[in-house]
Structure 1
Amino acid sequence: MPSTQKITYFMGCACCTAVSVALLGFAMSQTWARTKLECTASGTDVFNGSGVITWDLFSGTFDREFCPLIGTTIKFKVFTQLQDTGAPIILYGLVVLLLSVSLLFSALSILIALYNSVSNPYETYMGPIGLYICSALSAGLSLLVLILFAVAVSATDMAEKVVVKEATGTPVEMRNKQATFQLGYFLVIPYVVLSLVSIGVIYLYDHAAYTHRREQQRPTEDAPKEIMMY
């Protein structure tokens, strides 16, 4: 049976990772970004229209006001819309894929932590090494998600392609694209932090266990010389 100290550390790691999973799951159901553009019908110089595209991970809305038509709200499926418009769907697909893989590694971290809290496995991938790997991959992949999503929304023409498609054949010109990130995007940051905290908790346990083993292996180093002579 593991010691109380080991149970405390590994249960703390499991709880921390479970909170991070709940945060990321909630984040995936929220709005991630909004893109606003000024637009007008081709051939005119007055940009009196505007369009706002709201990006969730799997669905979105396009609210337009004379962009170039009279104001309406259009709902769409993100992957279907990107595929139909020829926008760079691969970046968006990578975001969703990496988020799913991050959740998988977090789930593995929880299982390994719970396993260690009720047993004493050897120093294999079912011990601290496995937790280091799973938590580090979760944190690293989710950081990559932040970068890829920001590039997809800000540096590609996804929003412009949506506007052109929904203009139903009416020529349209656009300018001053502005992207603002929303709650879903920012909730990935505490997920990264909690994954790193999980690594820190297990490192503290691993360091304490290593120190204890060293003390047991050298019990006579600090003994008086007179005692060691006998």
Structure 2
Amino acid sequence: MPSRKKKLMFASAFFTSICSFVIVCLVLASKNWVSSNINFTEGNSSAIVTITYGIFEGVCSKKVIGGLETPANNFQVTAKLGKTAMKNLNVAIILFLVLSLLSSLMSAGFTCYNTVSNPYQTFLGPIGVYTWNSLSGSFILLTMILFAVNIEANKLSVELASNCVFSSSRYQNSINNYEYPYWLMLLILLLNVATIIIIIFYHQARYSKRKEQERPIENAPKDGILF
């Protein structure tokens, strides 16, 4: 049976892994990763398109300067993407988030297993926890980078907003604001790091205890040596 210290440390790591799993689920379900205001010219007038979206769904509305504001329209992100590069990046982002979700779940499973048993296989112990959390953090980091690239380099917001205006409208400029679901991914990274640090502390404490038990016999008290 695991020692009390091991149960406490791995239970803490299980908690951080579960929190990571839950937050990834929230990020996947969120529809407001970014909000953008895009300015277009339509003939002699100007229009501002306000668009808020995630990786699956979004909503856009248009306001003509000096005119009326159109009702908000919901749309599917992938269905509105005409350019292959944008669509491929969006699919890659979804894939990385799903992989991060699975990695967090595996980390939770490994830490839970270690709170109730001492696995014989090395990978089922700390090494497995390190591996799954490293993978989860890597997938989240890639997600954040690719999403920002899709917006800033590929002008994803402009592409989506163009579906809310006339084909003759001309793009002027845009302002992008990353919302809390996007920044929540930083919290997932911190939780992955926290899980690894907890297990490192346990591993170091176990190593120190083992070294104390393996002290050379010359360091033992002389009256305790039998000839």
Normalization by structure 2: what TM-score? Answer: 0.90
SS in 1 for 2:124: coil
Aligned partner of 1:79 in structure 2 is: 78
Answer yes or no: is 1:182 the counterpart of 2:182.
Answer: no
Counterpart of 1:81 in structure 2: which amino acid?
A: K
The aligned residue for residue 15 of structure 2 is 15
1:221 and 1:174 map into 2 onto residues whose CA distance is 81
1 CA distance for matches of 2:47 and 2:116?
63
The aligned counterpart of 1:32 is 33
Report the Cα offset of residue 167 of structure 1.
Answer: 2.8
Could you tell me how far 1:71 is from its partner in structure 2? Answer: 2.9
5 Å-filtered alignment, 1:43-192, equals 44=44, 48-66=46-64, 71-72=69-70, 73-82=72-81, 84=82, 88-122=86-120, 124-169=122-167, 171-192=168-189
User: Which stretch shows the higher mean deviation, 138-147 or 21-30?
Assistant: 21-30
In 2, distance between residues paired with 1:8 and 1:219? 31
CA distance in 1, matches of 2:94, 2:69: 31
Cα deviation for residue 25 of structure 1 reads 1.4
Deviates more, 1:182-191 or 1:70-79: 70-79
For the residues of structure 1 that align with 2:212 and 2:162, how far apart are their CA atoms? Answer: 71
- Whole-angstrom distance in 1 between the partners of 2:11 and 2:189: 19
Report the count of equivalent residues.
224
Aligned-partner SS, 1:156 = coil
Checking the alignment, whether the CA contact within 8 Å between 1:7 and 1:118 is kept in structure 2 is yes
Could you tell me how far 1:157 is from its partner in structure 2? 2.7
Describe the superposition over 1:102-129 as per-residue Cα deviations: whole angstroms up to 9, x where unpaired.
Answer: 0100100011111111111135110100
**How far 1:151 moved relative to its partner?**
1.1
Aligned residues: CA RMSD: 2.2
Cα distance change of structure 1 residues 34 and 107 upon mapping to structure 2, 3 Å threshold: same
Asked if 2 retains the 8 angstrom alpha-carbon contact of 1:85 and 1:165, the reply is no
| TM-score, normalised by the number of residues in structure 1 | 0.89
In structure 2, the CA distance between the partners of 1:95 and 1:62, relative to structure 1 (3 Å rule), is same
1:16-64 per-position Cα deviation (integer Å, ceiling 9, x unaligned): 111121122122222100121111125x4x6x31111111221001111
Name the residue aligned to 1:213.
210
Tell me how far 1:200 sits from its aligned partner: 0.3
